[in-house]
Structure 1
Amino acid sequence: MKALKINAKDGHLVLQVENPDDLWALSIIIKPGDVAGMKTLRKVKISTGEAVEADKKPMYLKIRVKKVEFHGFTADLRLSGDIIEGPEDIKGGHTFNLRRSSRLDLWKLIGPEDLELIKEHQTRKPQVAVILVDREGALVAFRQQKIPFSAKLPGKRDEGANEEQAFRQFFGQLRQAVMAFEPEFVVVAGPGFVKDRLATFLKQDGLKVVVESVSSVSESGLREVFGKKTVEQVAGHMREVEEEKLVNDLYARVSRGRGAFYGPVETEACLQEGNVESLLVAASFIATRASEGRYAQLREWMQKVKYVAGEVHIIGVNQDAEKRLEGMGGIAGFKRW
C-alpha cells in the first residue's frame, strides 16, 4: 500500500492499493460514518431527442460510508453509502468497488490501529500460497481464501488404473488454482507421499516450493503449517504465522492461569491498572463495535496501549486464529506483570 498522504490533524488519508492484502487492511481501517472519495463510474441518463438513454460516465464522488464489505475469495472491497459530493445532478446512494491499483481519499478519525496497519502494509511481504494434499483431496489456501478439492487417487494395487494420468490431472487442477494467486512461494504439505509428487510437479513450472509434513488436510493442518519454522525462514514474516503465534501464546498463558487477560471486562480492568503489554483485537470485533456505534471506546483502549509503548495486534488474516480469539470475547492480551 502506498500512503500518498497522511494528515492526522484533519483526518485526511490518500491511499493507493497495490495488492489484495491492502484491501483487507482497508476493510479494517474504513468504518461506517467515514467519508470516502474516488474516481468511479456512475450510470447517468442522457436525453437524445425523444429517447432517454443510460450510460456509465467517469466522475469523482464522495460518499459517507454506511457499509464495508470485503470478499476474501475474490479480493474485492465494496464501500456503500450516500453521495455527499459530486456533479450537481448526481444524488442518492453509490458503491465503490476497490481493487488493485485503486486510489482512495479517506476522511476519518484516525485510530492507532489505522496507522499501524498502514505502516505494516507499506512494506511488501512475500505472497505465499499453501496446498495441503493427500490421496483423498486437497485444500488450497491463500490469505482468507480457501479452495477445497476432492479426489480419489489410485494406489499401486488398483488394477487397471492409470496412476500417472490420474495424478497429473489432479495436480494440474491444483496448479491452475494456485497460479491464479501469483504466489512467490508455495508451501506443499500433507500426511503422506502425495505432497512430494506434487512438489516435483510444481517445480517444473519454476515455482519456489517448500515441502512440509502435517497430520491432515484440514484447518488443523493449516495451523501446523503456520507453526513450522522452515516456512517462516523461507517466506519471511507471514502475517498468518504471526497471528497464529500470538493466539497460541494467549491460549498457553490462559491455560497456565497467569500473564493474560481476555474479554472486554478484563481488558478494561487491566488498562485502568496500566497492566497491558500487548493487545490482541479480532478484526470482526472492530467491525461489530463500529457497526453498533461503540467504536469510540475501543479506539480509546487501543490509544491507551500505544501511549504506554504497548503493542496492538489486529487478528484477521488467519481466520482460524481470529475465530479462536472471538471465542475469548474478541479482545485479549498479555499483561506486563
Structure 2
Amino acid sequence: MKIEINNNKNQIWVVPESEEDLWIIMLNLKRGDFIYTKVLRDISLKDSKSKERRPIDIKLRVEKTEFQPLTGKLRIFGIIEEGPEKFGVKGKHQSAYISIGQKIIIERYPKWDDRTINKFKSSGPKGRALIVAIDYDEYTISLITSLGVYQLENQTLNISGKDSPNREEEIEHVLNEVNSRIINYISKEKINILVIAGPGYLKDRLAEKIKINNNKLKVIVDNVSNGGFAGINEILRRQTIINVLREFTTILAQEVLEEFMKNVVNNSDMVAYTLKDVYYAAKIGAIDKVVVIDKLLYNINDDERQMAEEIIENAEKTNAKIFIITEDSLIAPSIEGLGGIIAILRCKIPKDVRNLNNI
C-alpha cells in the first residue's frame, strides 16, 4: 500500500495495491472518520424533473464499511460532509466504492495513532496459493490468500467406465480443460504455490501438464481420499501442506482452532470464547493466541465493536498472536458458533474466577 501522511497525522493519502490493502483499510476505519473521494451521484438538473449521473468530489463521514473478497472493491457507507454546493448534496447518504489503485484521503481527529499507521505501512499481499482436488468424478479449485480460502469452481466429470474405448480420450480432454483453467487462475491471481491432490494417478498427470510451461511455479502433489471439496478440506488438514502454507493467516488460524478444540475437551481453563470471556482474558494479559472474525471489528453495535477493538489492542500490547479472518473463511462457521472469537490462554483462568467477573 502506498501512503503519505500529513504533518499533523490527521490525514493519510492512501493507494491500495491489493485486496489485502482494502481489507486493512476496512478494519481500521471507524465510524466518524472521513474519506475524500470521487463518487457517481444522480444530480437533479435545473428547471427539469430529470436527473443526470455525474462524478463529484466529496468528503464522506464514515458510518459503516463492507468488503467482499475477490471483487477488488471496498464499499463505504456514510453521510456527505462536504460536496459541490450547487448540487445540494451535503447531509445526504452516500456509498463510495474504493478500488485497487484508487487514491483516497482518509481523515481522523485528532490524529491517526502510530500503531494504525504502521498497519497501513506493513500491509500488502502475502502470497497466493491454488489448491486443486481431482478424481474421476469431480474437481474443485480453491484459492488461498491471507484473507481466507475461497472456492473458485467445482465441476462434475462425466468420464466413462474402465471398459469404455473412449475413456482415455475423455480423460485427456478433461486434463487439458482443467489445465487450461488452472493456468488462467495462476496468471490472473498471481499464484506462487500450487497444490494438486487426489486419490489416483489423475493428479500426477495433471501436475505434469502444468509443469511444462510453469517450471518456476512451486507445485506440490499429494494423495487424498477424494476429489472435490472434500479433498480440499482433507489436504488443508495435512501437516505437510500446512507447513508449506504457513505464511497464510487462514492456515495458522485453522491450527489455533484445532488446538482450541483439544483444550476444550482436556483443559478448558486454558481457553476462552465469546466476546465477554475473551475480553476479560485480554484485560489481564492472559491471551497467547486469538482468532476473531473481522465483522466483529466493524460491528454496527458500538459496544461489541469497542470490546473487540480493545481485545486486539490489549493482545498487541502483550505480544499475543492475532489472527483476523473473514466471514467467508472455511473455519468462520466454527468460530461464529463460538461467539465469533476464540483464544488460547497463557495461564489457566478457572470458571469460578470468570463467574466472579460476570463472564
TM-score band, normalised by the shorter chain? 0.7 to 0.9
Identity of aligned residues (%): 20
SS of 2:308's equivalent in the other structure is helix
Of 109, 127, 145, the residue aligned with 2:150 is 145
Cα distance in 2 between the residues matched to 1:190 and 1:312: 33
Deviates more, 1:301-310 or 1:79-88: 301-310
Correspondence 1:205 to 2:213: yes
Unaligned runs of 5+ in 2: 348-359
Correspondence 1:169 to 2:183: no
Deviation at 1:101, TM superposition (A): 0.9
Cα distance in 2 between the residues matched to 1:198 and 1:125: 26
Corresponding residue for residue 253 of structure 2: 243
Cα distance in 1 between the residues matched to 2:249 and 2:76: 25
SS of 1:333's equivalent in the other structure is strand
Would the aligned equivalents of 1:285 and 1:326 in 2 still touch at CA under 8 Å?
Answer: no
Corresponding residue for residue 101 of structure 1: 101
Closer/same/farther in 2, CA of residues 190 and 75 from structure 1, 3 Å limit: farther
Corresponding residue for residue 67 of structure 2: 70
Superposition pairs for residues 224-263 of structure 1, below 5 Å?
Answer: 224-228=234-238, 230-231=240-241, 237-258=247-268, 259-263=270-274
Deviation at 1:265, TM superposition (A): 3.1
Cα distance in 2 between the residues matched to 1:60 and 1:80: 15
Letter in 2 for 1:240: T
Corresponding residue for residue 23 of structure 1: 22
Deviates more, 1:26-35 or 1:12-21: 26-35
Cα distance in 1 between the residues matched to 2:113 and 2:157: 47
Correspondence 1:285 to 2:296: yes
Q: Alpha-carbon deviations, 1:169-201, whole Å to 9, x = none?
A: 344344445543232232222232222222122
Structure 1-normalised TM-score? 0.82
Correspondence 1:307 to 2:317: yes
Would the aligned equivalents of 1:189 and 1:214 in 2 still touch at CA under 8 Å?
Answer: yes
Structure 2-normalised TM-score? 0.78
Correspondence 1:54 to 2:52: yes
SS of 1:96's equivalent in the other structure is strand
Deviation at 1:237, TM superposition (A): 1.0
Would the aligned equivalents of 2:294 and 2:324 in 1 still touch at CA under 8 Å?
Answer: yes
Aligned residues: 331
SS of 1:277's equivalent in the other structure is strand
Corresponding residue for residue 352 of structure 2: none
Correspondence 1:271 to 2:270: no
Deviation at 1:329, TM superposition (A): 1.1
Letter in 1 for 2:325: I
Would the aligned equivalents of 1:240 and 1:317 in 2 still touch at CA under 8 Å?
Answer: no
Which aligned segments of 4 or more residues in structure 1 are displaced greater than 6 angstroms? 49-53, 109-113
SS of 1:212's equivalent in the other structure is strand
Deviation at 1:225, TM superposition (A): 3.2
Unaligned runs of 5+ in 1: none
Superposition pairs for residues 81-92 of structure 1, below 5 Å?
Answer: 81-90=78-87, 91=89, 92=92
Correspondence 1:322 to 2:332: yes
Deviates more, 1:220-229 or 1:110-119: 110-119
Corresponding residue for residue 163 of structure 2: 157
Corresponding residue for residue 35 of structure 1: 34
Cα distance in 1 between the residues matched to 2:346 and 2:242: 27
SS of 1:54's equivalent in the other structure is strand
Cα distance in 2 between the residues matched to 1:276 and 1:172: 46
SS of 1:126's equivalent in the other structure is coil
SS of 1:323's equivalent in the other structure is helix
Would the aligned equivalents of 1:38 and 1:104 in 2 still touch at CA under 8 Å?
Answer: yes
Q: Alpha-carbon deviations, 1:103-138, whole Å to 9, x = none?
A: 23223486899567535524x422222222222222
Corresponding residue for residue 134 of structure 1: 135
Would the aligned equivalents of 2:249 and 2:325 in 1 still touch at CA under 8 Å?
Answer: no
